[in-house]
Structure 1
């Protein structure tokens, strides 16, 4: 994911940036609302983390402008844990709130949770080459042949097929498919990938292993 962080406190901005980069995401940063607006209107983004108290254009208004232009998750940061303040943010389209001070990893988990809801509501049907997936019916179609997969195999394939060519780390797939509170280990991903490869041996699609990193779905030809 490419994430826009708009925060005028350098230490907080650096902390959040490093947290998301360590998790494998691309990060854009801005220190005020106007420069944040310029970034998302010129570079595609997948999500935004925005401080409310920004110089010039404040975070709530920036959130509203983003939401009126592109449908991406937005989390607002605030130093005040007051319902009135949060209510205004939600009225401007925010998907979630974090109150300072916060644990950086919590922002990562919250954004992953919000992003899962977005994918499930916005993309119920996707296609990657000859592969088609219907999230409502949990159906997979390949060259006209219909398959029904176990739930987690389907959700893993759906995640990979949503962004063909994108490399997902094993721990990222655990968070996105099984949830961050999953008590198993990353070998679970390997087992499910092996099963998917066995089911779908097709020249036009393949699940590529990136050694030491994770997996990506490749559409060939």
Structure 2
């Protein structure tokens, strides 16, 4: 049974999300603020995903997300009343895997959660080796010049999708549909933001991800 931590200062929201997830077979743990959430995550290493509200007193969702990303690639879904594009892009830059605005559909939220966990659980035995870059798909590990690189779940999925389509020019729409789900309604800048972050983390091997003017991106690795 997958375990989900729901973090929101509104008891009504925690109950709504929790009840729906329980009906779908998830085990749910609740936290009413950011500090409590971090305490739970420190004690319970079996949590599979976090649903995190942004606007909370004292320790907000952004602060919690930063702390999570310092220690793990645990999937995080941001749940917030703020629906501006800048907030959404900011969330992805910090390492969020999904960003869902209130009011929301519990069915859509659950579908997104299942999609994230399904992608995490997919086992693919491939190990791709390029000059200075190693990608272990099954282990979800990436090394640049022999040193491990920490990627968020979305960054890894993006890299994996590009590599699986090596040599092929992919549009932003194709990337968004494949990596973020066909029902994702976010801004196309989400793709550009993640590509930028991925290139930075891959250091000089970031050049393997090429920009194709007027189309999108293409992966061309050197062997």
Q: TM-score, normalised by structure 1?
A: 0.54
Quote how far apart the aligned CAs of 1:40 are.
0.7
| Corresponding residue of 2:24 | 23
Note if 1:49 corresponds to 2:45. no
Q: Alignment length, in residue pairs?
A: 128
For the pair shown, the structure with the greater C-alpha radius of gyration is 1
Quote how far apart the aligned CAs of 1:113 are.
1.0
| Corresponding residue of 2:6 | 5
| Corresponding residue of 1:38 | 39
Quote how far apart the aligned CAs of 1:91 are.
1.2
Confirm or deny: 8 A CA contact 1:8 1:54 kept in the other structure. yes
| Corresponding residue of 2:82 | 80
Quote how far apart the aligned CAs of 1:116 are.
2.1
SS at match of 1:14: helix
Q: How does 1:48-67 map to 2 (within 5 A)?
A: 48-67=50-69
Q: Distance in 1 between matches of 2:20 and 2:42?
A: 24
Quote how far apart the aligned CAs of 1:18 are.
0.5
SS at match of 1:81: coil
Q: Distance in 1 between matches of 2:69 and 2:108?
A: 23
Unmatched runs of 5 consecutive residues or more in structure 2: 126-136, 139-180, 184-223
Q: TM-score, normalised by structure 2?
A: 0.53
Q: Deviations over 1:154-173 (max 9, x none)?
A: xxxxxxxxxxxxxxxxxxxx
Confirm or deny: 8 A CA contact 1:4 1:47 kept in the other structure. yes
SS at match of 1:49: strand
Q: Distance in 2 between matches of 1:124 and 1:46?
A: 19
Q: How does 1:37-186 map to 2 (within 5 A)?
A: 37-44=38-45, 45-120=47-122, 123-125=123-125
Unmatched runs of 5 consecutive residues or more in structure 1: 126-134, 137-178, 182-221
| Corresponding residue of 2:129 | none
Quote how far apart the aligned CAs of 1:69 are.
1.5
RMSD value over aligned CA atoms?
Answer: 2.2
Superposed structure 1 runs of 4+ greater than 4 Å apart: none
Q: Deviations over 1:70-114 (max 9, x none)?
A: 222110011121011111111111001110001111111001112
Confirm or deny: 8 A CA contact 1:73 1:111 kept in the other structure. no
